[in-house]
Each structure stands twice: as C-alpha cells, then as structure tokens.
Structure 1
Amino acid sequence: MRRCCVIRLLLGLAMLLAWVAPARADDISAAGRGVVRVVTIAIVDGEVVGFGHGSGFAVAPNRIVTNAHVVEAAERYPGNVLIGVVPSEGDKSYQGRLIAVDADRDLALIEFSGIRLPSLTFYNGPVNEGDAMIALGYPGNVDLATARSSADFITPLSPVRSQGVFSGRRNLQGVSVLLHTAGIARGNSGGPLLDGCGRVLGVNSAITRADDGDASFGFAIGNDEVAAFLREARQPMPVNGVACTSIADRLAADRSEAEQSRAAEEARQREAAAKAAAERENAMDQALVDNFAMRENYLGAAALLLVLGALGLGAGGLFYSRGQQREAVWAAAGGGVLIVGAFVTFFTRPAFDPGAIEGAARVVVPPPAAVAGGIGKMICTIDPARSRVTVSSTQDVAIDVSPEGCVNGRTQYAETSQQNWQRILVPDEEQTVSVLEYAPATRTYSTTRYLLSASQMDAARKLRAQVKIKACSTDPASRANLAQTQQAIRTALPQVFNERLVYRCKPGG
C-alpha cells in the first residue's frame, strides 16, 4: 500500500511540474516523440532506496526497446523494483513491465499501457563510414545539471540530440556494434542512434573511456542484433531500406521537376503553335485555291448557260422563220431562262473574302492529352525518383476510384482545383496526418505524411470533427463541404512534410 502511495506521489509531482518543449518540424523531432526515459525505482518497506534511469524508444505503440543493463535491477528484484516509462510529450508517466531480456545482447523489451507512442522505423540499408548519425536520449550529466528534484526524472521532456559520424563496425563482447562519434553519456543507454531521416541504425549501449584527454566514442548495438532479439521476442520490427533523401534535396528535386514540366509544356505549346501556324498557312493556301476554283467554276457555268441561252434564242428565231411558232416559243423561252440563269450564276459567284478564308483556316492549339482510363481499379507502384521515404512501407497499393471520387468503395475524396481527388486522414491513435491525392489524368497516386506533435494532432482532430461525410457520397454539396474542411486542415499543417510517397498507377484487377 505504501509503495502505491509513493508512486502516486511521484506521478502527481510529475503532472504538476510537467511541460512540453515546442516541436520542431524535422524527422529527428518526429522520431523523438517515440523516445522515452526509462526509470527504475527500488522500494523496500515502502521507502525509495534506489533510483536509476536510461532511455528507450517505441517499436510498437505500447512497447519499447532499451538496454538490459538499464532494467537489470527490475529483472533481478521484480517485486521491489518498478519500471517507469516517461514519454517525451504529455503530462504523466506510465508503469511498464519486462516481457523479454537478452543480457548477452544487452537488450530488453518493455510493455506498458495508457498511451500509444509513434513507433520508430529501423533502417536496414547500407551504412558507410563518415555518414552522419544522431543520438537521442536522456544523458545523465544533463539531468544532474538541470534536475531540481527526483520528480524531474519522471516529468515528460523532449530528448537531447547529439550528432556525429559513423566510424565503423566493431565486435563488443561477441555483439556486433556500430562505432560512432555522436556525443552520448550515461543515461543515453537504450536510446536510438538515427540516420538523417529519423530511422534507427542501432541502440546506444556504451561509451569508451576518455581518460587523459582521449576522444570519446559511442557503441550502438547493430540492427542485426536488434532484429534477432525482437524476432525471438515475437515482436514485429518496422523496417525500411530506402536511402535517406533530405527534405531540402526532395524539395529541390520537386522544384526542378516542376520547372522541367513547365519547360516541357512550354516546348509543347511552341511546337503545337508552330505546327498550327504551318497548318494554317497550308489551309490558307488551300482555301485560296478552293476559292479561286469555285469562282472559275461559277464563271464557266455562267458562260456555258449564256451560250446555251443564245443558241436557244437562235433556234427560236429559226423555228419562227419556218412558221413553226409553237417550237419557236419553247426554244425562245428556254433560251431566255438559260440567259437569266447565266446572269444569276455570274452575279452569285463566291466573292474573294480574306476574313472568311482566314476563319475557315483557323487551327486551335490542342490541350495536353490526358491519359485515358484513369478511373476504376488501379495497381500503384512506388516511384523512388519522386518520393521521399522515411518510415513507411513501399509495397504496391491497390485502389479503386469511381468517377465521383469514391475510393475503395468506402472513402470519399474531394475535388481539387487541379481536377484531382484528395482526402486528408487524421487518425485517432496515430501522430500522423496523411494527405492522399489521386490524379486521374496522369494516373498518379501520392501519400504525403506529416509527423506531428500531440498538440498539433489535437488541433487537426478538432478540425476533422467538422467533416460531415462519413462514407462515399454523390452529393456535390457534401463533397464541397469536405473540400472546404480539408483546406482548413491543410492550412494548419506545417509548411514542410516529413514523407511523400509517389506512385505510378496502371489498370489492374
């Protein structure tokens, strides 16, 4: 009973003293939201007799990895040592329990409840000497300098970051480790070593001694060892092997792609205009020829009618001289009609009208040709050259798009100004806002993700609550309301995204 009172007291102090550091809009800050402080509290007869702490990070919403030596006391004295999990955000801490320990690899897996943390992704691609690496955790020397009481150790606080480079692989007591120069100290144990995209390269576990001015190096347990440990613990491991592209490089590539697209469109317009001009000139020439031929035909017809009319009149006179009056009347009448027809044909011949000729020869520059068949069932494959992949899988995506923007028969998308379909997803139990967009004209599907802080997610969820459409709808007014609400969410998002997956789609079953 006294032990519970002690825990409540410590947690109560944590809630009173808790504060949340402002979030930075980068991949390391996003990864930091899944990093925790791991605290061990030894209690004997209701009194706190020992206190220790290290770092850890989420591999699932309710599970974290840390070093075995961080929780060694809890493994040895489970009835007297409590494990506390202190997230980087929020206003309280949570009690954890050991579910797997590997002393040889110096790894442990802790489970907790009461909060869901964003899981970090492991990088299983190549790492080269000199590559930049970032350590996240809670170094004890910083805590000793800043903590005012033991309550500060269970107060949610953003982790400390330090940067260095990869110095090679080593073997430490039979365990494969990464040697690096990122500054770590006691308390960083169990924290992640990250690449520039915020993906885990290893688990920090030890440092070299730096006596007599020697340089200090850090050791991080390699991902191959972590994978073996998690496999034995039957814990899935989120993995990504796509090379890291910085946000700056991705944005620069996007600008270059946009410029190339504009240049290609301008070249297409120039080519189309030149072709249209040539076609117009040819059409003008042909129109002139046709106009001249038509006038000549009319003049020829008028002359022929005039000659025939004259012959008719002559024949009438001949019949009259012979006393054949009836035949004379018919011949003279026919000749007269032919002569009248000749005058009518002559005066109704086509005039030379440059405006009419130009109108007949006008050629319209065609718009860009749209790819047909952009609606229906699609199989979409990742386009690495246009993507920035950090934490997500790159497997193919199957979508089924209706002409009204209903995707997969259950999710309504809203029209955009570019005549695309877009939907913004704000989940309840994840700290990620995803902007999904499909362009039927180019068969391009994209997912843009923003890894947000808890406060930013709360704001996005409040805006999402205004969305009235819960299923697919053919009502234009409902889709317009969806588009308006989504625009409000989009405006509230950071200017720079964390991840963008771009897919090329083709019809598929």
Structure 2
Amino acid sequence: MGRLLVKIAALLALLAPALAHAEPADIDAAARGVVRVVIIGNDDDELFPVSHGTGFAVTSDLIVTNAHVVRDAMSDNDLRVGIVPSGGGQAVYGRIVSVNARNDLALVRLTGSLRLPPLAIAGRPIANSGEVTSVGYPMNVDRAQGLDLADIFRSMPPVKSRGFVSGERPSRQFDTILHTAPIARGNSGGPLLDPCGRVVGVNSFGADNEGGDAEFFFAVSNRELLPFLRANEVEPVINDTVCRSLADLDAAERERLEREQMEALQSLAQRAEETRERRERALLKAQLSVAEDREDRMALAFILVLIAFGLALWAWSEQQKIDPESEDAELRQKKIKIAFGLAGFLVIVGLIAFLTRPGLDEIDRRVSAEMQEGAGGNTTDPENPETGDANLVCRLIPERSKFTGANPPDIEFDWAETGCVNERTQYGYAAGTWSRVFVPNSEDAVSVNSYDPDRRIFRSERYLLPRSAMNEAREARGKYTAPVCGAEGAAVQLGDLQGEVLGQLPTQPNERLVYRCETRE
C-alpha cells in the first residue's frame, strides 16, 4: 500500500505542473506578509524563545496562526507572543485576540507597526491536483543552518516548499486540505498558497510517516478560516478570479493584437473593395451624365445657331422688300435691326454653350464629388476616438488583467493633452508612452500608471517589492522632483527623470490592471 501511495504521489508530481505552475514573484510577494510567531519567556529580565510557529497578515495589524502555536502563551501569563517580520525591521509583540481550538485557528493583533502587506484569501477552492506552496519557518531548516533559538529573533525570509493538493476532506473536527507541500514543526500557522500567491488554507499538521509511507500534510481550509475571521469582525481581502500568470496574459494579449490586426486588414480590404465598387459606379454615372450634358450643350448650340440663321435670313429678305418711300419703312427697318441683333445674340449664346460643354476632366471631378458625398463627410474612425482633453471614466477589463486583491473599482480622471491629470498630476512622456511612477512610503509597492489617449486604454502595473528593493526605489525617487503639471516641456522632462526608478524594477509586474476609458457624462 505504501509503494502504491508513493507511485500515485510521483504521478501527481508529473501531471500537476502541466495543470498549474506557481510564479516565484507572486509567492515572494505573498511571503512579505508572512511572519515568525515566537513564544517568548522571561528569566531575570532576559528574554528567551520557548517555541515558534508561523503566521500571516490578514490586515495591516492582524496575524492569523494556529491555536496550538499560541497555546502556551494562553496558559502562562509570563509568556508573550513575539512577531518577527520576514523582510527586515524590529520585531514587535502581539496580543491574542481570539482562539478557536476546534479548528486550530488564532488571531493575534500587533502592538507595534510592521507595515505588513495583507495576504489575499482565495475566493474559490483550489482544484484537486492543483499546485500549492507552503510558506513558513520549519525548525529542521533552522537546525540544518546551525541556527540556535536566539537566531529566530532575527528577520529572515521564510522557506517555500511546493506540492500538490491531494483532496479536501473534513477531519473529525474541521475542514482541511490534504496536500504534499512539505511542512515541519515551525510551519504551523503558515499559509498554503495557490500559484498566484493567494491563501487557500492555514497549515496545521502532518500525517504520521511510520514505515516509509508517502508524506501528506493538512491545512485548515478557507471554509474554516473565513467564518473565523468574520466572527471576529475582520473583513479580509478576498480574490475570486481565476489564477492566471502574466505569461498567459501576455500570450492572450499577443493573440488579441494579432486578431485585431487581422480584423483590421480584413476590414481595410473590405472597405477598399467597397470603395472600388463605389468608384466604378460613380465613374459610370459620371461618364453617362457628362456625355448627356455634352450632347445637351451641343444640341442647344445647334438649335440656337439654327434659330439665329432663320432670323438673319428673315431679316435679310425683309431688308430686300423695304420701299424707302413707304410710310412704314422706318418701322420695318427697326424690326430688321432687332432681328439681326437677336440673331447675333443667339449665335454668341450658342457659341458659349458649345465652348462650355463638359470636357473629359469633368468626369474625374464628378467621381470625386460622388465619393465624398458617399463617405458622408465623416472622417472620424469610431474605433479611434478623438484625442485631446477629456473627462474620462475607466472600467476594468477582467480578461486582460491580473490582480491578487479585491476587485478594483472604476477610475475617473480628467486628461489634458499635455499629460496633466486632474490638473495636478503630470505624466511623463518617453518612447511614445505617457506614464507616471508612484513610489509610496505607506506600502511596499511601486505602481506604474500609463494612459494611451489614442486607444483610451489606462493601465496600472504594480510591483510588490521586498523591503530592501523598496528602499532602493524610494532612494531613486527621492533624487528628483516632478515638474509642475502642464509646465512647458514637463512631460519629456519627467519621462527622463523616471528612468532610474523604472530601471530598478523587475521585468514583470506582480499585478496588471487594464481599463477601457470613455467620456464621462
């Protein structure tokens, strides 16, 4: 039976990576909120560690761990709970807020500020055979490194171990996740993470390994964790999105761009064909109308000349009949002159009609006019709205985004073509991109916001950095002052100034939020 379990575990290890693969950056980002929980004794004012486990932040000042990790401190008033951060900084004491021995959960409040980033809780159960990672401080690793009990007061990164879910099953007392991500004494209370660094359980205990059986471990599931937190009026960060890697998003983005380019080419070819057909119809129509107009003008000229010839012939014949001695000779002479004058006028009009008949170049002019009229005079592409100043509301595109926290809200801002946002925040312009780098002092995360006014796409990429890297980013940011919003040359100047901070960031962010913007009513 033991050999069969080993074979099954090995088979799962071969198959599971094809189903899910943890991104180290996501696990490292989550590990920033993992702490060592130390039970501390006092002997003649000399502090010493009694035991230790692991915990993780669910808010900036609340830590989840196992109930059995803090059991000694509950039963002995002389013992205290110490919280040692993983990313550096002074350890602080913790105060036990709530303990539930039934499901082995405890909540500890920090008495000092460690500025810990809360871990997100997975809002959906992880699939069987899904990849998971245990994060914590196993004692056997400490011993292997030659660390004594005093060393556990020092900040050091937690240990990460990967495995796979073997099933969800209730124990006699509470709901657990069975998995193969190794844990040992000291891991108790640490998070069990999905590939995106979200908590799917709280590591609690391991199965007996007598006789060489395959090792399995148990974590308190979120079905127990979430009610426990809510019972203590704690609203954790919950993320129920599908876990996707940035590589998956990048591949989908490339496919989307290729698809859009193909659709654009097809649309262009279709419009070209429609334009060609419309031009052919316009050309035939112009040819017929010009030919008709030419014939009409020539016919008019011929008729006018014919009438003029008739009038002139009549006037000449009447001129021959006039008797100078007759009483009406003068009146008839006037009529003859009018007839000759009218005949000359008609000849001139006929000549003008003939000379002004449409030429072949009129065909091109009429085709051009027909094409412009057919286009409706609208040259604006609805897929590419006009750029420039705009009051915008931007809504998240979930299928193009990755985030580990709660669902982000809509964003509203006013954009000026100078790169000025809300009349106070200048965006830099470099390599054809508008962007602004934010390096806050309140959290260990660098945000790079960018806006594409042509496509009206707003992006926010967050880099969840360890404390040392964050300090370097703050130092680089402190070297420059952002220019006044809208000042001459401010965009290009800021684009150059932000280069040093951007150069220190990893190649990939931990979170990417993509928004589609439209004009705000």
- What CA distance in whole angstroms lies between the structure 1 residues aligned with 2:157 and 2:458? 35
Q: Paired residue for 1:449, among 462, 487, 491?
A: 462
* Map 1:108-187 → 2, pairs under 5 A: 108=106, 109-172=108-171, 174-187=173-186
Structure 1 gaps, min length 5: 1-23
- The residue number in structure 2 matching 1:287 is 286
Using a 3 Å threshold, how does the CA distance of structure 1 residues 411 and 123 change in structure 2: closer, same or farther?
Answer: farther
- The residue number in structure 2 matching 1:4 is none
Query: Are the counterparts in 2 of residues 467 and 481 from structure 1 also a CA contact under 8 Å?
Result: no
TM-score normalised by L of structure 1? 0.82
- What CA distance in whole angstroms lies between the structure 2 residues aligned with 1:312 and 1:487? 91
Query: Are the counterparts in 2 of residues 370 and 441 from structure 1 also a CA contact under 8 Å?
Result: no
- The residue number in structure 1 matching 2:257 is 258
Which digits, 9 at most, give the CA deviation of each residue in 1:264-295, with x for residues without a partner?
Answer: 11111111111111111112222222222222
Which digits, 9 at most, give the CA deviation of each residue in 1:347-382, with x for residues without a partner?
Answer: 3323223765665566689664147799546473x4
Which digits, 9 at most, give the CA deviation of each residue in 1:143-187, with x for residues without a partner?
Answer: 111134445323322221111111223344512221111111111
Using a 3 Å threshold, how does the CA distance of structure 1 residues 338 and 30 change in structure 2: closer, same or farther?
Answer: same
Q: Output the amino acid matched with 1:495.
A: T
- What CA distance in whole angstroms lies between the structure 1 residues aligned with 2:473 and 2:310? 96
- The residue number in structure 1 matching 2:398 is 384
Q: Paired residue for 1:340, among 331, 344, 348?
A: 348
- The residue number in structure 1 matching 2:8 is none
Q: Give the deviation of 1:485 after TM superposition.
A: 4.7
Using a 3 Å threshold, how does the CA distance of structure 1 residues 355 and 397 change in structure 2: closer, same or farther?
Answer: closer
Q: Paired residue for 2:85, among 82, 87, 97?
A: 87
Aligned-partner SS, 1:309:
helix
- The residue number in structure 2 matching 1:64 is 63
The answer to whether residue 326 in structure 2 is matched with residue 328 in structure 1 is: no
Using a 3 Å threshold, how does the CA distance of structure 1 residues 474 and 177 change in structure 2: closer, same or farther?
Answer: same
Which digits, 9 at most, give the CA deviation of each residue in 1:19-50, with x for residues without a partner?
Answer: xxxxx862111111111222233221134555
Query: Are the counterparts in 1 of residues 132 and 194 from structure 2 also a CA contact under 8 Å?
Result: yes
Query: Are the counterparts in 1 of residues 131 and 194 from structure 2 also a CA contact under 8 Å?
Result: yes
- The residue number in structure 1 matching 2:51 is 52
- The residue number in structure 2 matching 1:97 is 94
Number of aligned residue pairs: give it: 479
Structure 2 gaps, min length 5: 1-22, 323-331
- What CA distance in whole angstroms lies between the structure 2 residues aligned with 1:156 and 1:49? 16
Query: Are the counterparts in 1 of residues 49 and 150 from structure 2 also a CA contact under 8 Å?
Result: no
- The residue number in structure 1 matching 2:511 is 499
Query: Are the counterparts in 1 of residues 136 and 187 from structure 2 also a CA contact under 8 Å?
Result: yes
Using a 3 Å threshold, how does the CA distance of structure 1 residues 356 and 62 change in structure 2: closer, same or farther?
Answer: same
Aligned-partner SS, 1:26:
helix
- What CA distance in whole angstroms lies between the structure 2 residues aligned with 1:320 and 1:60? 119
Determine which structure has more spread, i.e. the larger CA radius of gyration: 2
Using a 3 Å threshold, how does the CA distance of structure 1 residues 469 and 176 change in structure 2: closer, same or farther?
Answer: farther
Aligned-partner SS, 1:429:
coil
Q: Output the amino acid matched with 2:87.
A: E
Using a 3 Å threshold, how does the CA distance of structure 1 residues 268 and 413 change in structure 2: closer, same or farther?
Answer: farther
- The residue number in structure 2 matching 1:106 is 104
Larger displacement relative to structure 2 (191-200 or 440-449): 440-449
- What CA distance in whole angstroms lies between the structure 1 residues aligned with 2:357 and 2:28? 83
Aligned-partner SS, 1:60:
coil
Q: Output the amino acid matched with 2:305.
A: L
Q: Give the deviation of 1:457 after TM superposition.
A: 2.8
* Map 1:296-375 → 2, pairs under 5 A: 296-323=295-322, 324-353=332-361, 368-370=381-383, 375=390
- The residue number in structure 1 matching 2:206 is 207
- What CA distance in whole angstroms lies between the structure 2 residues aligned with 1:25 and 1:162? 11
CA RMSD of aligned residues (A): 3.4
TM-score normalised by L of structure 2? 0.80
Using a 3 Å threshold, how does the CA distance of structure 1 residues 315 and 485 change in structure 2: closer, same or farther?
Answer: farther
Larger displacement relative to structure 2 (51-60 or 319-328): 319-328
Q: Output the amino acid matched with 2:246.
A: I
Which digits, 9 at most, give the CA deviation of each residue in 1:318-340, with x for residues without a partner?
Answer: 33223333322232222123223
Using a 3 Å threshold, how does the CA distance of structure 1 residues 87 and 147 change in structure 2: closer, same or farther?
Answer: farther
Percent identity between the aligned chains?
Answer: 34
Which digits, 9 at most, give the CA deviation of each residue in 1:413-466, with x for residues without a partner?
Answer: 648799997554432211223344566776655443322222433344345553
- What CA distance in whole angstroms lies between the structure 2 residues aligned with 1:410 and 1:186? 56
